[in-house]
Amino acid sequence: MSTASPNLTWCNVRLGQDMNWWVEEISDSIHWDVDGLSIIDPRQMAHLLDLMDPLREYGLRTDLIEQAFYKFRIEKEISKGKIGLSRVNGGFSDDDEPFFALPDVIDEEKGPYADFLNHITALRVKLLNDLIEFEQKFTIEELEDTLREEQNNNFMEGRATHVFSEVCDILEYVPDGYTLDDDEPIDADDSEDDYGNDIPDLDEDEKIEEDETMKWDDDEDDFEEEESEEEEEEEVVMAKPKRGRPRK
């Protein structure tokens, strides 16, 4: 249970350039390594809970969600982009106060957070097999191998994988070449503004019937022709050599 760590009472977190929160200091420095330790903010947690909602019909266990994370509330602002959090004993279903969520990663292989990841991974695979007609049944190992490869690439590039991204990657995973109904791309024609669709297409050979309001076009053309002729005559006159009297 994540509540069985009495030394964990507070942590200080900073807002990274990736707009995610990362742990900078923690009260239980013996059991926790803050290097690359990330924490989910209340807005992100609400999003993850929404993503998990479709898994309820496949047997989602809310108790594993509660056990997988330590809950924190904002205690104080330390400086710009840095806040102090204090631990609380609440549940994510409580509507009174949103919580920051720190994953219980003391035991990365068999701890509550690892159990939570295994649980939602299995349910996501069930959902995918239920909604997509695969040639062969999609497996948990295939999903885990794909995500592990992405995390290894991040590690090789010196980038830590944030816990929010880690959970999102599972809950939103769809194999390459497949889409779910909610993931279908929007047709470019459907994304156009309504006023653009109201403009009729005219054939190139189609002519607009002239009426009284369009006669000024002809008058203007006649005026332009007359003006052009006058300019040509003026140029001819100016081009003739001037005759002057010879000097004595």
The tens digit of pLDDT for each residue in 143-202 reads 999 999 988 888 888 888 999 999 999 999 999 989 887 544 333 343 333 323 333 333
State the Cα–Cα distance between residues 198 and 212, nearest whole angstrom.
Answer: 27
Average pLDDT over residues 60-75: 96
- Evaluate whether residue 243 is within a structural domain: no
- Evaluate whether residue 44 is within a structural domain: yes
DSSP code string of 6-32: TT--EEEEEE-TTS-EEEEEES-TTT-
- Evaluate whether residue 72 is within a structural domain: yes
Residue 50: helix, strand or coil by DSSP?
Answer: helix
Residue 144's domain comprises: 10-177
Q: What is the pLDDT of residues 17-64, one digit of tens each?
A: 999 999 999 999 899 999 999 999 999 999 999 999 999 999 999 999
Instruction: Specify the residue for token string 């190992």.
Output: 141
Sheet holding 38-39, edge to edge: 38-39, 21-26, 10-15, 82-88, 69-79, 100-103
Q: How many domains does the chain have?
A: 1
Q: What is the pLDDT of residues 77-101, one digit of tens each?
A: 999 999 999 999 888 876 667 899 9
- Evaluate whether residue 41 is within a structural domain: yes
- Evaluate whether residue 142 is within a structural domain: yes
The closest of 125, 121, 150 to 139, measured between CA atoms, is 125
- Which sign, positive or negative, has the C-alpha torsion 145, 150, 156, 158? negative
- Evaluate whether residue 61 is within a structural domain: yes
Joined together, the tokens standing for residue 204 give 């190139």
- Evaluate whether residue 70 is within a structural domain: yes
